[in-house]
Amino acid sequence: MPGSANGLILGIDPGLAGTGFALLSGPGTVLSSTTVITKPGPDGARLLAITRHLRELLTQSRPAEASLEELFMGRNATSAIGVAQARGAILMVLEECGIPVFEYKPAQVKIVLTGYGKADKEQIARMLAAQVKLPDGKLDTHALDAIAIAVCHARSRQFSRAAVLGV
């Protein structure tokens, strides 16, 4: 199932305990956003739950591209290992399905959305709410991060095209 020409962007906020997914049609239209929460237990079972959801999402939506946040090594090494495992499983599925992947540093996402590379989660949430139509209902941080990553990619793609066209 290679990526399609429909222009849909899948944003992914990888994590072992919770992985956020967001599907965008252009930089301002969020079609859907979900979070897969995995139960504590064997890592393999958790990764399987994440990849099953991803495969289902890819089959239903057939996005043209996917965007992920690059791995950020904070103070919690255990958390970073879980994120790395989830990222690896996600990248493998995307590669199997022929979906091009674009990765962004956390500071890049923050700059594109807020103009400030050290913006906090609340600032990002406020800017997202002002810039895009978010799905109804309360979104958790994983879903919001997935939307932010997808919006960052959509806007970066627009900027790249403008530069090529000399606009």
Q: Are 8 and 23 in contact (CB under 8 A)?
A: yes
If you search the block for the tokens 């965007």, which residue do you land on?
67
Summarize the confidence of residues 38-58 as an average pLDDT: 97
Model confidence pTM above 0.85: yes
User: pLDDT tens digits, residue range 56-107?
Assistant: 999 999 999 999 988 776 666 778 899 999 999 999 999 999 999 999 999 9
Residue showing tokens 């995995």? 38
Domains and CATH numbers, the chain: 8-165 (3.30.420.10)
Q: Torsions phi, psi of 19, nearest 5?
A: -120, 125
What backbone torsions phi and psi does residue 2 show, to the nearest 5 degrees? -65, 160
**First-last CA distance in the chain:** 34
Give the CA-trace dihedral at 77, 81, 86, 88, to 10 degrees: 130
Residue identified by tokens 């403008």 is 162
Cα(70)–Cα(15) distance, integer angstroms: 12
User: How would you list the strands of the sheet with 65-69, edge to edge?
Assistant: 30-37, 18-25, 8-13, 65-69, 101-104
Which ranges constitute the DSSP H helices of the chain?
43-61, 77-96, 106-114, 121-131, 141-165
pLDDT value of position 154: 93
> Within a 10 A sphere around the Cβ of 53, how many other Cβ atoms?
16
* Residue 48: predicted pLDDT: 98
Neighbour count for residue 109 (Cβ, 10 Å): 26
Q: Is the pLDDT of residue 158 over 70?
A: no
Q: What pLDDT band is residue 146 in, cutting at 50, 70 and 90?
A: very high
